[in-house]
Amino acid sequence: MSLPILIPKLHSNQANSNRGWDSSILVLPNAVRNDQGDIFMTEKQDQILKQLNEFCPRLIQQLRKLSEDDWAAQSRCDDWTVKDVIAHLSSVLTNYLIFITSARKEENILDDPNASRNEPGIFDGKSYAERLSKRAKESSESFDSSEQLINEFELRFEMLLNGFNSCNDNEWDLKAYHPVNWVSVYGILLWTMFESTIHAWDALNAVDENYLVDENLAPLLPQYFCHKLINRWFKATDSTGTPSQTLAVNLGSSHGVRISSANGALDIDEQCIDSFDSEAEIHTSPSEFGLLITGRKSLSKSIEDTSTQLTGDRSFVDSFSRWFTGS
């Protein structure tokens, strides 16, 4: 087991200089504090980075096996071809390298006169969809061949991973920009894991129905889904008058996911599966859950094909479809 990583506390003058930035929110579900209040991150970060370093060449190899017809095929993303998906992902990873480079220099990226960026917190998955779709198609059209796109994608993915691999211990908690919210360098690592694994499925499952959300990274995805500064991207809330509901998600390990809707708020937490009461429980694989919570597959369909089992209140099938409509 690797040693925990010490993250220094922000001094008051540092905290006040970060607009909209509450460092207390960044404490990870798997983090602990010492008597002085310093935050220690567990080996989860190392696990994610290790798996991404192995996932990248594996994904590139799979992309090189695709035919020209495969690249032109409709992906699992509406209105995007397989080529559009990978062009989008290539652009995303390029931006993430910019974000963590700026964070590690402790610069405010919004002050860059050469780049126009919105203050974080304005967009979510739905409101940003049209803009992302247009940009992906424009990026896709800029590549003359699939080989050119693969080479560029490989370079950008490797450059981003090199950026993460070279991070010092005290840099993971530095404030980092993302259009959804100010997060940390670690938060951008979570975004990288999510974007690369889910969009790989969007592209490769379209040409091979047996392709699953990567089974090595899927068990780590709850780190992303439960991050309170991130998950506003893909979740919707019920009205304040809707009765409270709590759903347990059993992913086949001691730790599961608790989804709780109350007073117009939807909370997603990673907890020991036996540590809380719930009206219903779904039992599914981490790979399948990645599709369910991103709206790529409905809970009713997953139950129908026996990929997921639900015990307890059946009304959660409808509730789940309201909470997670796609991202």
| pLDDT recorded at residue 31 | 43
**Bridge partner residues of 282 (DSSP):** 249, 310
Are 30 and 254 a contacting pair, CB within 8 Å?
no
Q: Residue 36: inside a domain, yes or no? A: no
| pLDDT recorded at residue 14 | 36
Same domain, 169 and 246: no
Q: Which of 166-175, 232-241, 312-321 has the lowest mean pLDDT?
A: 232-241
Same domain, 242 and 214: no
Residue 290: give its domain's CATH number: 3.30.1050.10
| pLDDT recorded at residue 142 | 86
Same domain, 152 and 86: yes
The span from the CA of 40 to the CA of 45, in Å, is 11
pLDDT digits (tens, 9 = 90+) for 199-217: 999 999 999 999 999 999 9
Same domain, 161 and 274: no
Q: Residue 241: inside a domain, yes or no? A: yes
Same domain, 91 and 180: yes
Same domain, 133 and 81: yes
Give the model's confidence band at 25: pLDDT under 50 very low, under 70 low, under 90 confident, else very high: very low
Phi, psi of 303 (to 5 degrees): -70, -40
| pLDDT recorded at residue 10 | 33
CA dihedral over 268, 273, 278, 284, signed as positive or negative: positive
User: What is the average pLDDT value for the chain, to the nearest integer?
Assistant: 84
| pLDDT recorded at residue 124 | 58
3-state secondary structure at position 262: strand
Same domain, 203 and 265: no
Cα-based distances in Å from 152 to 17, 50, 160, 214, 296: 37, 22, 12, 22, 27
In the numeric block, which tokens belong to residue 77? Answer: 């993303």
Same domain, 160 and 241: no
Q: Quick one: average pLDDT of 56-84?
A: 96
Same domain, 274 and 205: no
**Bridge partner residues of 262 (DSSP):** 265
3-state secondary structure at position 256: strand
Q: Residue 137: inside a domain, yes or no? A: yes
Cα-based distances in Å from 238 to 181, 266, 323: 22, 8, 7
Give the model's confidence band at 178: pLDDT under 50 very low, under 70 low, under 90 confident, else very high: very high
Cα-based distances in Å from 245 to 29, 237, 265, 311: 22, 12, 11, 14
In the numeric block, which tokens belong to residue 113? Answer: 């006169």
Residue 175: give its domain's CATH number: 1.20.120.450
pLDDT at residue 6 is higher than 80 = no
Say how many CA atoms lie within 13 Å of 321 toward its Cβ.
Answer: 10
Q: How many CB atoms lie within 10 A of CB 22?
A: 11
pLDDT digits (tens, 9 = 90+) for 78-128: 889 999 999 999 999 999 999 999 999 998 888 887 777 777 766 655 655
Same domain, 209 and 313: no
Give the model's confidence band at 34: pLDDT under 50 very low, under 70 low, under 90 confident, else very high: very low
Same domain, 200 and 143: yes
The parent domain of residue 284 ranges over: 234-323
Same domain, 60 and 207: yes
Domain count of the chain?
Answer: 2
Picking from 218, 244, 259, the residue at the C-terminal end of a domain is 218
| pLDDT recorded at residue 13 | 36
Q: How far is C-alpha 63 from the chain's CA centre?
A: 21
Segment of 25-29, 42-46, 86-90, 107-111 carrying the highest mean pLDDT: 86-90
